[in-house]
Structure 1
Amino acid sequence: MKSLNYLGLLGSLLIIAGGLSPMLHIPIIGEWNYYDIDVALASIVMTLAVLGLIASLINKPGLLRFAGWASLIVVLFTLAAVYFKVNDAFSFIPFKKLAAAAVRVVHYRWTGWMLLILGSVLSIIGGRKTKRII
């Protein structure tokens, strides 16, 4: 295996670890990982991570790069969706200061998000083509 394949392998494993790490902390309810946020998006990201894992093992850089870009797009879409959902979830409260205080109660756990983004970037880097010098 080439060194770039190891980067793709590490990236895919980081995506899997990030998906299983806590991503949100909601009081009383507890910690939420990717599957607690949205099962469909979590399944897509995990499928792309497994696809990247297989691509790095069988030396398919194009497939690895595709899996990295696709997982990065889905993770960033999920982050934006969670941000807007948290800010919109308390819009039923008529007092703006009380609604803002309720929004501040929900905390992001950035470890899981950063593992997902770092894993996607490593998969993209691991899938780039190497130049041959003859």
Structure 2
Amino acid sequence: MLVVKKINAYIGLILGAIAITIAPMLKVPVKGNWNLYQADPRLLYISLAIFALAALFLFVRALSMFRLMAIVAVIWTAVMAAAVWFKVNNYFGSKFFDKMLSKTIHFQWGWIVLLVAVILLATSVKKERLEIKP
């Protein structure tokens, strides 16, 4: 039987929504802080879909699907961080310009908030044995 810690799940969903939509993800020298939409809109839309499905499954109490979406969110966050890192480090295709660009663009605190959110989601569901006492 699956048991959910609702407070952790709700906090994880709220933090995930904040991190994905408004938290700064990259610091670009001339343009300022970029959120996920400015970095890559496709990553934003896929992330929003994953968190929306997780919220839907939590509210309809489909806990096995919620657990699956939490694991998908953890994997997707790792893939997304790698994709943004590779995009920053291989933007122009020239070694000299890419090295200069990668030294000037830095990751911001939004990634930490997103990491905390997916960890809260992943640890909010656990499997317990149902013991029947005679």
Sequence identity percentage = 24
Aligned-partner Cα distance in 2 for 1:67–1:3: 14
Aligned residues: 129
TM-score by length of 1: 0.82
Aligned-partner Cα distance in 2 for 1:51–1:5: 16
Aligned to 2:116: 118
Aligned-partner Cα distance in 2 for 1:43–1:89: 21
For residues 4-52 of structure 1, what are the alpha-carbon distances to aligned partners after superposition, in whole Å with 9 as ceiling and x for unaligned? 1222222111111111210001011121111112212211111111222
Aligned to 1:39: 41
Q: What is the RMSD computed on CA atoms of the aligned residues?
A: 2.1
- What amino acid maps onto 2:61 in structure 1? N
TM-score by length of 2: 0.82
User: Residues 99 and 125 (structure 1 numbering): CA distance in 2 closer, same or farther, change over 3 Å?
Assistant: closer
| Structure with the bigger percentage of strand | 2
Decide whether the 8 Å contact of 1:5 with 1:57 is kept in 2.
Answer: no
Decide whether the 8 Å contact of 2:71 with 2:122 is kept in 1.
Answer: yes
- SS of corresponding position for 2:90: helix
Decide whether the 8 Å contact of 1:41 with 1:74 is kept in 2.
Answer: no
Runs of 4+ in 1 over 6 A off after TM superposition: none
Residue segments in structure 1 that go unaligned for 5+ positions in a row: none
What is the deviation of 1:90? Answer: 4.9
- What amino acid maps onto 1:121 in structure 2? I
Residue segments in structure 2 that go unaligned for 5+ positions in a row: none
